[in-house]
Amino acid sequence: MEKQLTGTLALAVFTAALGSLQMGYSLGVINAPQKVIERHYARSLGVYDEELARRGGGNATEHEEPTDASVVMYWSLSVAIFAIGGMVSSFLVSFVSDFRGRIKGMLYINVLAITAGLLMGLAKMGTPYLMVIAGRAIMGLYCGLSSGLVPLYIGEISPVKYRGAMGALHQLAIVIGILISQVIGLDFLLGNDEMWHVLLGLSGAPAILQSLLLLVCPESPRYLYIKLGKAEEACKSLKRLKGDYDTSKDIAEMQAEKEEAMKEAQMSILRLLRSSVYRQQLFVALMMHFSQQFSGINAIFYYSTSIFQSAGVGQPVYATIGVGVINIIFTLVSVMMVDRAGRRTLTIVGLGGMCCCAVAMTVGLAFQDVYSWMSYISMAAIFLFVSFFEIGPGPIPWFIVAEIFSQGPRPAAIALAGCCNWTCNFIIGMFFPYLEGLCGSYVFVVFAVLLFGFTVFIYLRVPETKGKTFEEIAAVFHHKRGAPPSKPQEEAEMVQLKGSTDA
């Protein structure tokens, strides 16, 4: 009898999610010790005013200590290069996942994470700004690959019944990583002059544990059977993941998918972009990632400290950590509900709720100088905005891409969606301050309009994937395209794809 949930499956999902934890830590770790790191950059560049620092009691603040333009440039590069690394490496997810498999792929890329951690951890012994920038760039390369490989592996090994919950664990691990970085980045722990390099160096620590655990994790049965044609090894892997049971049903499903994959051939990214067969799925996948990044979630984090300050919170950093706790709580809610309520429902509820919160945020910011209590409206809107984000728009885009594509185009689709996500992340990080300067307190009107549009799109164009096999989901999209009339054209395109030398 199939047990569905086993210790080996739990270990495999936990091990893969360590890559997501590392990604979350790397996303959040750079913010808390900003002024400390900038001082070390300034000393290294020879532009640090020691006399001013002494007058400020040896711990000059941002108000007492004007920041040199070269320091600002190197700091901005330290932050932005992480997203650039993610954008570049996300294109390689397809190659890395298929070259030696999902497990070995995750194992090999840990070399990048450990190298990055060492560079940043030893930054005080060399030239800090160069070593931190190099470390952040390499960590970005790691995270771009990990953000594709982790959902791919988890999606392929999860039982249909629990695929949504296990897919949402990727996002849960990210927000836990962000919270850990916020907590240990407090100035009395590691976010200080003596320990900031250790704080950054710990970015590579989860990779060491993950490398050890990956050695005992089974390879994806879908990869073994469909990609390599190793039926016996696929059966062993299935039994390790689900217990000692009759694997014939799962093998039959993979065989059907393999036959489809043989028609499809292996898809390159360029061929996927040009194929009309997968245009619907690709459009949905990219729009899901657009909705995640252009929802305004990063803008909320950007604004949160100033809103908490205006609400009279004495230590806004602790309120920001409170937002991190809310992140985790509502991601857990998503994990519990995603296989009951469904992906589509949770995404629509999440985006719609965020739209209402963005409106409330705009009203609160616009009138907080007139009515002091309006700042509390803004503060409540932050917590609700984050809650709605983690219910659906946060976790679901990461794993739904693996669900709506069959084996042939799946790695290329995940690579494209990942690149889209990282590119949007970079655009928001670079241009939001300018947008905020232009629009002021009305900046969230832009996000409210975008969120409304995304909600309507999801309602009209995204099917429910809860409880469906990969083949059943593919059939929904073919039905939406009106598959029967276009079958000859589709078959002709499949033949063309199969015969192409660069597919």
User: Residue ranges per domain, the chain?
Assistant: 1-48+67-217, 270-480
- For 149, the enclosing helix (H) or strand (E) is helix 128-157
Distance from C-alpha of 461 to C-alpha of 80, rounded to nearest angstrom: 33
Q: Hey, what are 365's tokens?
A: 């910011």
Q: Which alpha helices (H) appear in 405-502, and where do they start and end?
A: 410-439, 443-461, 470-481, 487-499
Q: What is the pLDDT, as a whole number, of residue 1?
A: 45
Whether 1-48+67-217 shares its CATH topology with 270-480 is answered yes
Q: What is the pLDDT, as a whole number, of residue 63?
A: 43
Distance from C-alpha of 125 to C-alpha of 146, rounded to nearest angstrom: 29
pLDDT tens digits for range 296-353: 887 777 667 667 776 667 777 788 788 889 889 999 999 899 888 889 999 999 999 9
Distance from CA of residue 360 to its chain's centroid?
A: 27
Contact partners, residue 100, CB within 8 Å, separation at least 6: 108
Q: Hey, what are 89's tokens?
A: 């490496």
- The architecture that CATH gives domain 1-48+67-217 is Up-down Bundle (1.20)
Q: What is the pLDDT, as a whole number, of residue 215?
A: 95
Tokens 């809103």 appear where?
307
Q: Hey, what are 222's tokens?
A: 């879908």
Q: Hey, what are 138's tokens?
A: 């390499």
Distance from C-alpha of 156 to C-alpha of 21, rounded to nearest angstrom: 20
Amino acid at 323: V
Q: What is the pLDDT, as a whole number, of residue 97?
A: 87
Q: Which CATH superfamily is domain 270-480 in?
A: MFS general substrate transporter like domains (1.20.1250.20)
Q: What is the pLDDT, as a whole number, of residue 385?
A: 94
CB atoms within 10 A of CB 387: 20
Q: Are 22 and 206 in contact (CB under 8 A)?
A: yes
Q: What is the pLDDT, as a whole number, of residue 265?
A: 61
Q: What is the pLDDT, as a whole number, of residue 119?
A: 95
Q: Are 170 and 82 in contact (CB under 8 A)?
A: no
DSSP 333-353: HHHHHHHHH-HHHHHHHHHHH
What is the three-state SS of 169-183? HHHHHHHHHHHHHHH
The model's pTM is 0.82
Q: What is the mean pLDDT of each run of 10 residues along the chain (503 residues)?
A: 74 95 90 81 76 48 56 83 90 86 94 96 89 94 93 89 87 92 89 90 94 95 89 91 85 84 73 86 94 86 70 74 89 89 93 95 85 84 92 90 82 89 85 80 90 95 83 75 47 46 38
